[in-house]
């Protein structure tokens, strides 16, 4: 089975600064998707950004961007110009295309934004 | 309003007493899934369904059952709950073309004594 590892249980960032959340994964597959989800205190999960493994170009969504290193199996999330509303738990996730669309999530990183 | 609803939101029960957590979505989504969230373990997928009458095991299916008789509903059944099933449960749905854009329900906090 695939595994997703987030080695930073907690992170903090000053408002307006940049922070990078780390994620590594283990897989023998060549085709898959990677995601970052945000879970605010309301507990609703929100898709932040998605990366297809076959694409070399790093995905970007406004202030959110990823650094996808396929050979290293690394998928970090960079949040620029951090805002108070960015405070949440962030989950890295992997979606298998070979095992019927099964998802694997990391353990999460709790991000605090300091005013 | 497009949404995924779960009931109940909170449940305290005892070991061995069968229970069902309902999940319903109003977006005509094909893909539905159940997760449990535990501290230090993140989200783990229990079961998922690509369409009516099609269900597959996720990472941690033991002790759970699901059914998908209607497209909008995907109940999670615990035939004989045990304390290790105490957790926060999420239902999610998405369209077949955008499986990763999962809409999550508000969660169900289950405690098994």
Preferred mutation among B43, B45, B107 to probe A, highest tally of A CBs within 10 A: B43
Confidence of residue A1 (pLDDT cuts 50, 70, 90): low
Q: In sequence order, what DSSP letters do the residues of A59-106 get, joined into one string?
A: PEETTEEEEEETTTTEEEEEE-S--GGG-EEEEEEEEETTTTS-EEE-
Q: In sequence order, what DSSP letters do the residues of A44-68 get, joined into one string?
A: --EEEEEEETT--SPPEETTEEEEE
* pLDDT value for A100: 63
Considering only the beta carbons, identify the residue of A33, A100, A108 that sits closest to B42: A108
Inter-chain contact B44–A105, Cβ cutoff 8 Å? yes
Inter-chain contact B45–A103, Cβ cutoff 8 Å? yes
* pLDDT value for B38: 92
* pLDDT value for B96: 85
* Average pLDDT, integer, range B74-93: 96
Q: Tell me how far apart the alpha carbons of residues B109 and A90 are, in angstroms, rounded to a whole number.
A: 20
> Is A65's pLDDT higher than 90?
yes
Calculated CA dihedral for residues B95, B98, B104, B105, nearest 10 degrees? -10
Average pLDDT of every residue of chain A: 92
Q: Tell me how far apart the alpha carbons of residues B63 and B38 are, in angstroms, rounded to a whole number.
A: 16
pLDDT in tens, B22-79: 999 999 999 999 999 998 888 999 999 999 999 999 989 999 999 999 999 999 999 9
* C-alpha angle A68-A71-A73 in degrees, rounded to nearest 5: 60
pLDDT in tens, A17-36: 999 999 999 998 888 999 99
Contacts of residue A102 in chain B, CB cutoff 8 Å?
45, 48, 56, 58-59
Inter-chain contact A102–B48, Cβ cutoff 8 Å? yes
* pLDDT value for B75: 98
> Is A56's pLDDT higher than 80?
yes
């Amino acid at each position: 089975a695939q595994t997703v590892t987030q080695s930073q249980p907690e992170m903090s960032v000053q408002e307006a600064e940049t922070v990078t959340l780390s994620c590594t994964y283990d897989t023998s597959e060549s085709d898959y998707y990677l995601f970052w989800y945000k879970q605010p205190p309301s507990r609703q999960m929100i898709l932040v950004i998605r990366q297809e493994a076959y694409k070399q170009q790093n995905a970007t969504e406004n202030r959110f961007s990823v650094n996808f290193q396929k050979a290293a199996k690394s998928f970090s999330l960079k949040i620029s110009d951090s805002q108070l509303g960015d405070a949440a738990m962030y989950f890295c996730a992997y979606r298998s295309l070979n095992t019927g669309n099964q998802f694997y999530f990391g353990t999460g990183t709790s991000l605090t934004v300091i005013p | 309003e497009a949404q995924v609803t779960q009931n109940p939101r909170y449940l305290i029960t005892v070991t061995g007493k069968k229970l069902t957590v309902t999940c319903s979505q109003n977006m005509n989504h094909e893909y539905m899934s159940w997760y449990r969230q535990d501290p230090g373990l993140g989200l783990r997928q229990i079961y998922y369904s690509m369409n009516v009458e099609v269900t597959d095991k996720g990472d941690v299916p033991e002790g759970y059952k699901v059914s998908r008789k209607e497209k909008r509903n995907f109940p999670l059944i615990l035939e004989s709950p045990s304390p290790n099933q105490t957790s926060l449960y999420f239902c999610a749905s998405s369209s077949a073309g955008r499986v990763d854009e999962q809409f999550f329900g508000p969660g169900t906090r289950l405690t098994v004594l």
